[in-house]
Amino acid sequence: MACRIPARALWQSSPRLALIPRVTSQGPRWTRHYTTPAESQNRTAIVTGSARGIGKAIALRLAQDGYDICVNDIPANKSGAESVVSEIKNLGRNAFPFMADVSNLQEVENMVSASVSELGPLNTMVANAGIAQVKALLDLTEQDLKRMFEVNVYGVYNCYSTAAKQLISQSTPGKLIGCSSIVGFKPFPLLSHYSASKWAVRGLTQAFAMEMARHKITVNAYAPGIVGTAMWDLIDEELGKIDGRKKGETIKKYTDELIALGRTSVPEDVAKVVSFLSGPDSEYVTGQTLLVDGGIIFT
């Protein structure tokens, strides 16, 4: 017949075992200063697509957090970018506009060089710029797919890779942050190629996080939900045409039926999450895509 001896009794009865020291919890012996410079140091960020909407809110929030900002957008939005620069300067931070199409690698490289020249060493890249299109899958053209991926996928890659090379050349840690979407987790009808591009952003973010970790560069993304911006105005209008709804009714329907918190997001909701990802409290977060959708998608 087997005899079971309680582990505690065995410990207490064996002189030899009693001499083995017990492992006790100890505090950390050192602190890792990872990717965020001290607040006393100059910090710089590039925010793409920041002439309006979510990008503008991010640029202003990072300025409030103590960053000097390169405000990027395409030439058609130059006046908006210049206005954001003025707002940032009124907050007491330095800023300048740089017009570039993120789908063009050479223009992104020029933008990063200009930012370093104007503001100092780079710390954070926010690859926010993107486009959307409402169209049925079987109606998509080759050019529709090509342009969507040029901006939303190649654009993020261009920003991540160019900023990473700059950070490595500086021998400094840093942060790469990209824009995904709720549709990067679950596609919406008539937003198929947009959804696919945002899934790709999640994949790039995870891959970059793995390869950049040894350089002390963290890489994360944020995934907005239904936000009151020009992009969602377009989505609302086009979906309304298909479903026979008036302008504003589609967003209201989605808000009422899908969002747990019961309200449409505003750009500042997203900017708060990016503030976290660019700040010191996210030092041990990498390879993640954080949803900020009021409770549409749960992970």
Q: Which one-letter DSSP state was computed for residue 296?
A: S
User: In terms of Cα–Cα distance, which of 35, 82, 87 is closest to 64?
Assistant: 87
Q: What DSSP character marks residue 92?
A: T
Q: Quick one: 25 exposed, middle or buried, by C-beta within 10 A (0-12, 13-18, 19+)?
A: exposed
Query: How far apart (Å, rounded) are the C-alpha atoms in residues 138 and 161?
Result: 33
Beta bridge partner(s), residue 194? none
In the chain, how many H helices and how many E strands? 11, 7
Widest distance between CA atoms in the chain:
87
Q: Report d(CA 216, CA 209) in Å as an integer.
A: 10
Q: Give the residue numbers annotated as catalytic, written as ranges.
A: 194
- Cα 118-84-68 angle, rounded to 5 deg: 35
252 close to 226: Cβ distance less than 8 angstroms = no
Distances (CA, A) of 245 to 136, 236, 252: 17, 9, 11
Residue type for position 105:
L
| Sequence-distant (≥ 6) Cβ neighbours of residue 118 within 8 angstroms | 70, 94, 96
